[in-house]
Amino acid sequence: MEPGATSDERGDTATLAQLRRGALPHCVLAVLEHEERYAFEIVDALSELPGLTTTTGTIYPLLSRLRRDGLVDTTWRESTSGPPRRYYRLTPIGERTLVAFRQDWRTFRDAVDLLLEGGRS
Amino acid sequence: MTTSVHDLLRDYLARFDRAAAALPPERWRELRTDVEAHLDEIGASVATEAEVRQALDRLGPPEAIVAEEAADLPSSAPRPTGSRALDVTAIVLLLIGAIVIPLVGWVVGAVLLWASRTWTTREKLLGTFVLPGGIVVPLLLALLPARTLVLHPAAGMVLFVLLVAAPLVVAGVLLRRGERRR
């Protein structure tokens, strides 16, 4: 914890950066939950939401890591509208990880919300 | 694709290659495939230079992508997880083990050295070959009558000092590096 934390040049405090690092992999898993998507789509989908990530290129190393850890699988497919695309889908381990995180996140989020709201009344 | 759009994308890829020079080749190749595919998508989906710049801004600087990948690399320095006592024992035995129990003492020290997770291979080689036998070698040489080694006594003294100092210095270096890594 840093009292009076200053933001770096992207407007991130160290705390926020840490929170993102923890949550972002699971957000990627969630994006893939119901259908496979190609990389550009994933990166684009996440960049639509404010507060999630500042620059989208940093998602590529994350995707590499998810592949290495066996949470996602990829396939290259030819595309009629342009260059071949790398499609991502969840592996069974990825699915289990997402389900577990969903539960953990809800518990954590509810507890933090309760305390943050309680402090204001 | 107009020339300037093509140029922007190609410049971005070149910047990426420069920034990624420090990455291990396999990671660089993997990441480059993804970045190149992303740049191709941009090229296929937008037409004007302004749109390309916009898309590249959202992608972010190649340096940021490389930095993120670098953060995922395992740290290169070995992290000791073993017993500190064993490490210290290894060094002590390497130095004087051959005096306590001829040959075997030093060998045990060498085995402990190589089994330890504290030091890099290069450091272990240093500990093994400077000197084999530790300070036993110079001590034995000193016990020999000066005539058996055709050496001027002064040169002999210098040699003796060097042969004693070298393993001591190496031992000190290994111990200090081991401490710093804990």
A41-80: pLDDT as tens digits: 888 888 778 777 667 888 899 999 999 999 999 999 998 8
Contact B61 A57 (CB under 8 A): yes
Q: What is the mean pLDDT of chain B?
A: 84
The confidence band for A118, taking pLDDT boundaries of 50, 70 and 90, is confident
Residue B149: per-residue pLDDT: 60
Partner residue opposite A57 with nearest CB, options B44, B45, B65: B65
Tell me the β-bridge partners of A82.
A79
Q: What is the rounded CA–CA span in Å between residue A29 and residue A45? A: 12
Q: Residue B175's closest CA among B101, B75, B80, B77? A: B80
Distance (Å, whole) CA B179 – CA B174 = 9
Pairwise CB contact (< 8 Å): B41 & A84: no
CA gap A63, A53 in Å, rounded:
14
Report which of A57, A32, A30, A78 is spatially closest to residue B34, judged by C-alpha positions.
A57
What is the tens place of the pLDDT at every residue in B39-72? 998 998 888 999 999 999 988 999 999 998 998 8
Mutate to test the interface with B, among A21, A59, A60 (most CBs of B within 10 A): A60
Is B58 in contact with A47 (Cβ distance < 8 A)?
yes
- Give the nearest partner residue to A60 out of B44, B45, B65, using CB atoms: B65
Residue spans of beta strands (DSSP E) within A5-114? 37-38, 72-79, 82-90
The C-alpha atoms of residue A32 and residue A53 are separated, in whole angstroms, by: 17
CA A108 vs. chain centroid, Å, equals 17
Stretch B106-126: mean pLDDT? 85
Are the beta carbons of A61 and B68 separated by less than 8 Å?
Answer: yes
Cβ within 8 Å of residue A78, ≥6 positions away? A84
Q: How confident is the model at residue B11 (pLDDT cuts 50, 70, 90)?
A: very high
**pTM for the whole thing?**
0.61
Pick from B67, B116, B72, B78: nearest CA to B94? B116
More confident residue, B50 or B141: B50
Q: How confident is the model at residue A5 (pLDDT cuts 50, 70, 90)?
A: low
